[in-house]
Amino acid sequence: MDELRTSQPISWLDDVDPDGVVINPAHELYGRSLAGVSLRYPGASGSTVGSDRIVNLAVRGRAPKRIRLERADPITLWGAILGKIDVEILGAPRTPVDRGRLEALGVTGEVADFLARAAELLGTDEFVPADHVQIAGVSYKTITDTGLELRRYWGSRYRFRAKHVTINPAGMDLEDWRSLGFPEAFAQKQQEIIDIYLRMGATPTVTCTPYLTGAMPPPFTDAFLSESSVVSYANSVLGIRTNRESGLSTLLYAIAGYGPRYGLHLPENRQPRLEVRVTEALRGPVDFGLLGYALGTRVHGRIPYLTGITSRPSVEELKALSAAGAASGSIDLYHIEGVTPEAQAHRVSLDRVEETIEIDRAVLEDAKRTLNTGRPEELDLVTFGCPHASLDEVREIAAYLEGKRIRSGVTLWVCTSRAVKTLSDRLGYVATVEAAGGHVVADTCMVVSPIEEMGHRTTATSSAKAGKYLPRFCRQNVIFDTPQEILSRIVV
Q: Is 26 exposed, middle or buried (0-12, 13-18, 19+ CB in 10 A)?
A: exposed
Q: What is the per-residue pLDDT across 238-270, written as a single tens digit (0 to 9) for each?
A: 999 999 999 999 999 999 999 999 999 999 999
Q: Please name the residues in contact with 199: beta carbons below 8 A apart, sequence gap of 6 or more.
A: 155, 159
Query: Residue 215 has what pLDDT?
Result: 81
E-state strands within 365-407 = 381-389
CA distance 219 to 338: 17
Other beta carbons within 10 Å of 365 = 12
Query: Residue 258 has what pLDDT?
Result: 98
Displacement of CA 91 from its chain's centroid (Å): 27
The angle subtended at Cα 286 by Cα 281 and Cα 290, nearest 5°, is: 75
Find out whether 69 and 89 touch, Cβ atoms under 8 Å: yes
Query: Residue 250 has what pLDDT?
Result: 98
Residue-range domains of the chain with CATH: 3-99 (3.50.30.10), 102-265 (3.30.499.10), 271-369 (3.40.1060), 372-490 (3.30.499.10)
Q: Which residues of the chain have pLDDT under 50?
A: none
Q: Please name the residues in contact with 320: beta carbons below 8 A apart, sequence gap of 6 or more.
A: 285, 286, 288, 289, 292, 463, 464, 465
Find out whether 427 and 395 touch, Cβ atoms under 8 Å: yes
Query: Residue 438 has what pLDDT?
Result: 98
Q: What is the per-residue pLDDT across 115-138, written as a single tens digit (0 to 9) for each?
A: 999 999 999 999 999 999 999 999
Cis peptide, bond prior to residue 387, ω within 30 of zero: yes
CA distance 420 to 385: 11
Query: Residue 95 has what pLDDT?
Result: 83
CA distance 331 to 248: 20
CA distance 107 to 129: 11
Q: Is 281 exposed, middle or buried (0-12, 13-18, 19+ CB in 10 A)?
A: exposed
Query: Residue 310 has what pLDDT?
Result: 87
Question: What single-letter DSSP state applies at residue 182?
Answer: -
Query: Residue 94 has what pLDDT?
Result: 83
Query: Residue 91 has what pLDDT?
Result: 87
DSSP 76-88: HHHHHHHTT-EEE
Residue length of the chain: 492
Query: Residue 330 has what pLDDT?
Result: 87
Query: Residue 264 has what pLDDT?
Result: 97
What phi and psi values does residue 135 have, to the nearest 5 degrees?
-105, 125
Q: For residue 446, give the nearest of 393, 376, 387 by alpha carbon.
A: 387
Longest alpha-carbon distance in the chain? 68
Q: For residue 50, give the nearest of 251, 204, 228 by alpha carbon.
A: 228
Q: Could you tell me the sign of the dihedral formed by the alpha carbons of 349, 71, 115, 46, in that order?
A: positive
| Residue 356 DSSP SS3 | strand
Query: Residue 2 has what pLDDT?
Result: 78
| Residue 389 DSSP SS3 | strand
| Residue 393 DSSP SS3 | helix
Find out whether 306 and 336 touch, Cβ atoms under 8 Å: yes
